[in-house]
Amino acid sequence: MTFNNNYEYTEKDRIDPLLICELCKDPFIDPFVTPCIHTFCRQCIEQYLESDSSCPSKWCNQSLRTEDLKPHEPGIVVSMLNRLHVKCKLCEEAPLYRGDFDEHINKDCTKAEVKCTTSKFGCTWSGERDQLNNHLKVCVYQQLSSTFDSLFDKIESQNSYIKQLEDQLEKQWIEFEERTDQQKAGLEGKIVQLKTELDERIDQQKTILEGRMDKQKTGLEEEIKKLKNKIKCLLPPIRANLTDIQPNAKWKQNGLTVAGGCGQANRSNQLAGPHGLCVDDNQTIYVVDNYNHRIMEWKCCGTNGKVVAGGNGYGNGAHQLNGPQDVIIDKEQDSFIITDTVNRRIVRWPRRKGTRGETIISNVSCWGLTMDENGFLYVVDNGKNEVRRYQIGDVKGTVVAGSNGKGNRLDQLSGPSYLFVDRDHSVYVSDSSNHRVMKWEEGTKEGIIVAGGQGEGNSLTQLLYPQGVVVDQLDTVYVADFGNHRIMRWPKGATQGTVIIGGNNEGAQSNQLAGPVGLSFDRHGNLYVVDNRNDRVQKFNIE
């Protein structure tokens, strides 16, 4: 039952108050019940809740939402509402039950507005029900209604037929899809089988090709290894600048003074306590002038040297050195790299008009140093009895020799001084206080003795505080035997060495040495020795 303005209650004063809506003051229409058990017309309560959120019943303020409402279940209340007496305002028929009023309007009320029975065919007439018969007498559509009915029946029949066709088509389509799925599954199975067979063939071919490639790779690796060995024999060691030294090579026993030799002082033709040195391709000598805290350059056949680093008194300023021990040339960056020993730092100093150095490694008891072909720096840490390798930009380094405490085991060093690195990155280090030269192959945890190692002494099996060391292409070791004032040669695997320079007691004659330290060769094989206590550098020409 919905709201209807076409009737009025005939006995309103006798209606039970329990059937009256508190909002509209009329009997309930489409009654809804709240959770607090109050009943209202549906339209009334929904409109009310659009502006309020509490129950409108007197003495009740319970919170209320539209979704909390429920239709009143059929029962006595609904039955009583349906049996209320009403009067039709259109035709004034009374009494009518309110529950039957909608049927009265739709079927019986003579004054209710209705449409022509042929409105579905296009007639637009509407009017009171008691006027319908008069209209039908003149309605064109009514006269054609039988024809329209026949057409509509045919249309309905056609629609039914179309529906049957659609059903059949859908059924056939489903069957087609099922057959297609079956065929697809069959094709997919065949594809999987073919793919499996193809993969097996590919794997077989791949295995065959890999076998061939492995053979070729092995052959190439062997060829590369042979080429490397040939190149190794042709290329000079990094520090020595050698092209080749024959196993039976000899040097003139009387040396030529090519730097210093004019007494211990700080003039340009003098040295004071020289240590390490290096010789470039032009036979220019760079020597560490230890007591003068500088690096000196002596051109070939020159009588005076030139300060190229330090020379500003001892100190820790960027323009100073303090007790340097060794120097090498970094051709890539056109600079010197110097062990600034007392200042516990490694310094890079420009070769061209350099007035100050740059500290590249700090807090290291540095002594000897060298560099491999990759630009990696190797530094002797005399205090920690170890050798560390520093990659470019690295300030911590990696231990490559020693670092197991001071001692004479094969994994230990004691007072290491100078070092050499060959093309295989094996490290040769003068283990000075153990009177031996040790070789550490790359990646090993201990070294092997390649010279000395028989205690201190002057026999051919012994060394006494060895210093500078160079290794040639045949792994022959050349070492400055400081305490015995001689230079010795130890072929690979030899148990004793041979004296190639000096060994004529300590002295200042041309065939004598006094505490040799630094050692190097030029590209012709001539030997350069830093004669420490004579404050000079001696050159011994190869015969």
User: How far out from the chain centre does Cα 448 lie?
Assistant: 41
Tokens coding 373: 């072909």
| Least confident among 33-37, 128-132, 186-190 | 186-190
- Identify which has the larger pLDDT, 256 or 121: 256
In the predicted model, what is the mean pLDDT of residues 153-178? 86
* Residues 309, 325: Cα–Cα separation, whole Å: 13
- Does residue 425 surpass a pLDDT of 50? yes
Q: For residue 137, which of 114, 110, 107, 117 has the smallest C-alpha distance?
A: 117
pLDDT tens for residues 484-505? 999 999 999 999 999 999 999 9
Q: Tokens 């019986």 label which residue?
A: 108
Please list, in sequence order, all residues whose beta carbon lies within 8 angstroms of the beta carbon of residue 10, skipping any fewer than 6 positions away. 85, 86, 87, 94, 95
Distance CA 310, CA 294 (A): 4
- Rounded distance between C-alpha atoms, residue 368 and residue 377, angstroms: 11
Give pLDDT, residue 230.
Answer: 58
| Cross-strand pairs, 256 | 539
Are 477 and 451 within 8 A, CB to CB? Answer: yes
As a whole number, mean pLDDT of residues 297-306 equals: 94
Q: How confident is the model at residue 378 (pLDDT cuts 50, 70, 90)?
A: very high
CA torsion angle for 188, 194, 198, 201 (degrees, to 10)?
A: 150
Residue 456 burial by CB count (10 A; 0-12/13-18/19+): exposed, middle or buried? Answer: middle
What percent of the chain is predicted at pLDDT more than 90?
66
Q: pLDDT tens across 224-257, in order? A: 777 755 554 444 434 444 446 888 899 999 999 9
Task: Tell me the percentage of the chain whose pLDDT exceeds 70.
Answer: 96
Mean pLDDT of 350-375: 94
